[in-house]
A and B are shown apart, each in its own frame.
Chain A
Amino acid sequence: AQTVTQSQPEMSVQEAETVTLSCTYDTSESNYYLFWYKQPPSRQMILVIRQEAYKQQNATENRFSVNFQKAAKSFSLKISDSQLGDTAMYFCAFSSLRSNYQLIWGAGTKLIIKP
């Protein structure tokens, strides 16, 4: 079965620091898609970043970037210059043909940015 594991239930860092959230997944497929979603206290889920497995280049979106290690099946999210508004739950998700392209979600990491 395809699974997504987020090993850090909760993390906290000081404002302006850099933080990395980990995500690993299990699949036998060679092509798939990976996502990071953010759920702030308002509970409305927002897409942070999307990565296609066949693309070598790591995706970036402003202060957010990923470290995609295909062989290790790892997809970590790096947040640079963290801000108070980054406080949220962060979910990693996986999608492939085997899942009919529906998302398989990790359990989430609660990130707290301290002033």
Chain B
Amino acid sequence: DGGITQSPKYLFRKEGQNVTLSCEQNLNHDAMYWYRQDPGQGLRLIYYSQIVNDFQKGDIAEGYSVSREKKESFPLTVTSAQKNPTAFYLCASSIGGRLPEKLFFGSGTQLSVL
């Protein structure tokens, strides 16, 4: 079945540690996104990529980094510079193009600080 796979489901980060969240899609979508979800708030865009080897910062990119070396993969690294990383992280993809199309989401990763 086509879809988006996020791993791990739960992740714990120690002080000063970088951690990487995985996101893989087999939908042949050009665009991929990372969102952060905090309780009582809407989703906030961290980074997005419209095409391989290119990505743009979203509203809350500070303390995060991404890469897009392959069409199907868009990993997110939460660096030690992100002082409040505890949140639920959602990866999404879409066909791409200029206009907003349907987003397909993964099942998310819950990141907590030890």
Contacts and interface: CB of A to CB of B under 8 A. Distances in A.
Contact of B98 (A50, A101, A107, A108): A101
A16 interface: no
A107 B40 contact: yes
A75 to B, nearest CB: 14
A47 B99 contact: no
A44 B106 contact: yes
A95 to B, nearest CB: 4
B61 to A, nearest CB: 12
A46 interface: yes
A102 B88 contact: no
A103 B105 CA distance: 14
A44 B108 contact: yes
Interface residues of A, number: 23
A108 B42 CA distance: 6
A105 to B, nearest CB: 3
Contacts of A101: 98-100
B76 interface: no
Interface in B53-112: 58, 88, 90, 92, 98-100, 102-103, 105-108
19 contacts: A35-B100, A43-B88, A45-B92, A46-B105, A47-B102, A47-B103, A50-B102, A91-B42, A91-B43, A93-B42, A95-B100, A102-B48, A103-B43, A103-B45, A103-B103, A104-B42, A105-B43, A107-B41, A108-B42
Interface of B: 40-45, 48, 58, 88, 90, 92, 98-100, 102-103, 105-108
